[in-house]
Chain A
Amino acid sequence: MPRFAPPVEQAALYKALVYHSVRWQPRLSRLAGLLLDRPLRARDRVIDALLQVGLCQLSIMHAADHAAVSETVNAVRDLGRPGLAGLVNGVLRKYLRARDALEAELDRDPIAASAHPGWMLEVLRGDWPEHWENIVTSGNLQAPMWLRINRTRTSSREYLQELSDHGHAASLSAWVDDGVRLAEPCAVAELPGFDRGRVSVQDGAAQLAGQLLAPVAGQRVLDACAAPGGKTGHLLELVGGDIDLLALDRDPQRLRKVDETLERLGWTARTLTADAANPGEWWDGKPFQRILLDAPCSGSGVIRRHPDIKLLRRRSDIDDLAGRQRALLDGLWPTLDQGGLMLYCCCSVFRQENQQQVDRFMNSHSDAELLPLSDRLRGRFGDGRGPGMQVFPGEEEMDGFFYAVLRKLRVATD
């Protein structure tokens, strides 16, 4: 039996409750702290969590006061803690009586106001003194649903018309060639031709990766950390499938997702469970002309889609991730052909994973050059400065992402 069984007809409400409660947890836990005379005991932490869900309905979702209070109190009983029902009822009513003063107090507290953990705020302030407030604000907003149109079958302009015929308002992007943004999210089953691979669900920022790497027909291409295969599919679409593509991932279960994605899109590629950082394990010695290194990262740029990152990530993770990114960059570099391009990218806004990673790489590799951005993109996103290109979350309604295109210099042979 599964762990949790939401009634089907209320699934949307449950989902909303979970998303909002997780997204605003740093604020809600402070609010609970202000309202409780003393913290709940460790064994009552399920009630602590429930109390925050109750406060979320009142403070964030603006549910009807009476319904939110009585449903939350009922849930205390359903959880088998009837002895705490009075406490929860009292705390929620106390909030309702002092709502304005409490909200004002929360707004004065940086962690509660930004709903981001303290360590993340510190890193963001240090990294982006002029932009951190926009970054955290965007991190708390709902992300739009982006589609990637399979350019080998339909143009994005034609698909936009099709969507409109099906009653879905959408818009094109000036920067993302294959991208279409839906005004309202919908189930993929409602997207014309989704199951036949005419369209994929993928954020605009993720689509820029394939666009920047720009593979050319006939090339040997490596997708080093491929799962779940969204970008793998895009690389193939960009050249009508006419590349020799190898897709790696360390996790066999996640790699299976790549096969499924490619099957839906109707492409074939070699997929292999392997650690890209150790080419000795898997490389046949033939160099690649293009490498996509979409490195594992903190996900600090996609918090708006995955708010649990705020709760699950620890500051100490960042050093570990940066170490892994470095191992991948250094390990893969020898497999790149002279004159070939490697795109280093990740869905982070932390300099340690992005700009500093590329600076370190450039300082330790004399045979690498950093490709300048095209005129079209130069100065358009982030703080407009390099190295690479930083997109902040919410810019052009995209996820936060970082990209750097590295070219291997040709070595003159006499």
Chain B
Amino acid sequence: MAKLTILEFPDPRLRRKAVAVELVDDKIRTLIDDLLGTMYAAPGIGLAATQVDVHLRVLVADISEDKLAPLALINPEILSRDGVEITEEGCLSVPGVYEKVERAEHITLRALDRDGNNIEMEANGLLAVCIQHECDHLEGKLFVDYLSELKRQRIRTRLQKARRLDIDRPHKAPAI
């Protein structure tokens, strides 16, 4: 399982719209495994192929605490949304930034699983938020797009500065 590099905002490649997977083969399954490995290592609860510069409609998610519920969705399509859930969201492509975003609390969706079977499923709460967030990536959309332009500009500046100053992990946060 390879660990892939996650693109970071404002990388223009995060804006590309992903294309549908035509055939679920071993290549796609390898991609799924790599996405899961990269997501767990981050550590994250969701990752879209777009974030690792692969522009196919594939995403993975696992909101369990023990990495016991990996979910891979190919060509996901959200069929219905209802309710309102406001969550403090973050994104592995926008490190260190957390802002409140409003999403549907409950969704139903259709997708292919890793064996190419059609599945329909429902998701609530955090999983629903996570899937909506990752589906946005496949459209070239980021959670910061829901914020004001002023806020987004501030985040862009902060990340560019942070990358210039990046230093050894143990020293980044002086121990308390």
Interface residues of A (CB under 8 A from B): 1-3, 5-8, 15-16, 19-20, 46, 142-143, 145, 185-186, 188-189, 194-195, 200-202, 228-230, 253, 257, 260-261, 264, 304-307
Q: Are A201 and B168 in contact (CB under 8 A)?
A: yes
What are 12 A-B contacts defined by CB distance under 8 Å?
A: A1-B129, A2-B42, A2-B45, A2-B91, A3-B45, A7-B98, A20-B176, A143-B174, A185-B174, A202-B171, A229-B168, A306-B170
Interface assignment of B175: CB less than 8 Å from any CB of chain A: yes
Known: A1-B89, A195-B164. A6 touches B170 (CB 8 A): no
In the bound complex, CA of A107 to CA of B92 (Å) = 43
Residues 121-134 of B, flagged 1 when their CB comes within 8 A of A and 0 if not, give 00000000110011
Give chain B residues whose Cβ lies under 8 Å from the Cβ of A189. 161, 165
Q: Which of A3, A19, A185 contacts B43 (CB 8 A)?
A: A3
Find out whether the CB atom of A228 lies under 8 angstroms from the CB atom of B168: yes
Say yes or no: is B76 at the interface (Cβ < 8 Å to chain A): no
CA distance A138 to B77 in the complex (A): 56
CB neighbours (8 Å) of B130 from chain A are 1
Given the contacts A3-B44, A7-B88, A253-B3, A264 and B167 also touching, CB distance less than 8 Å:
yes
From residue 121 to 174 of chain B, which have CB atoms closer than 8 A to chain A? Answer: 129-130, 133-134, 161, 164-174
Contact A15 B173 (CB under 8 A): yes
Contacting pair A142 B168 (CB below 8 A): no
The answer for the CA separation of A6 and B98 in the assembled complex, in Å, is 7
B175 and A1 contact, CB distance less than 8 A: no
Task: Tell me whether B65 is interfacial, beta carbon within 8 Å.
Answer: yes
Least CB distance from A138 to B in Å reads: 13
Residue-by-residue, is B80-111 near A (CB-CB < 8 Å gives 1, otherwise 0)?
00000001111110010110000000000000
> CB distance A261 to B176 under 8 Å?
no
What is the total of A-B residue contacts with beta carbons within 8 Å? Answer: 79
Residue among A20, A201, A261 with most chain B CB within 10 A: A201
Q: Contacts A15-B176, A20-B176: A46 and B165 contacting too (C-beta < 8 A)?
A: no
Residues of A within 8 A of B133 (CB): 1
Knowing A228-B168, A260-B166, A264-B167, say if A142 contacts B176 (CB, 8 Å).
Answer: yes
> Are A257 and B170 in touch, CB under 8 angstroms?
no
Contact (Cβ within 8 A) A5 B175? no
Chain A residues with Cβ below 8 Å from B90 are 1-2, 5
A1-B91, A2-B44 are contacts. A8–B98 as well, Cβ < 8 Å?
yes
9 other contacts beyond A5-B87, A5-B89, A195-B164, with CB at 8 A cut-off? A1-B44, A2-B42, A2-B43, A2-B45, A2-B92, A8-B97, A16-B176, A202-B171, A261-B168
* B98 in contact with A5 (CB, 8 Å): yes
A-side contacts of B169, CB under 8 Å: 228
Cα A257 to Cα B166 with chains together (Å): 9
Q: CA A135 – CA B42 in complex, angstroms? A: 33
- What is the CA–CA distance of A200 and B65 in the complex, to the nearest angstrom? 37
Q: How close is A181's CB to chain B, nearest CB, in angstroms?
A: 12
The residue in B46, B90, B176 that gathers the most chain A C-beta atoms within 10 A of its C-beta is B176
In the assembled complex, how far is the CB of residue A15 from the closest CB belonging to chain B, in whole angstroms?
6
* CB nearest neighbor in A for B88: A5
Give Cα A362–Cα B173 distance, bound, in whole angstroms. Answer: 39
Alpha-carbon distance between A143 and B170 when the two chains are bound, in angstroms: 12
| Inter-chain contacts of A253 with B (CB < 8 A) | 3
Closest CB in chain A relative to B64 CB, distance in Å:
11
Q: Which residues of B contact A16 (CB under 8 A)?
A: 176
Chain B residues near A200 (CB, 8 Å)?
167
In the bound complex, residues from chain B placing their C-beta under 8 Å from that of A264 are 167
B42 touches A257 (CB 8 A): no
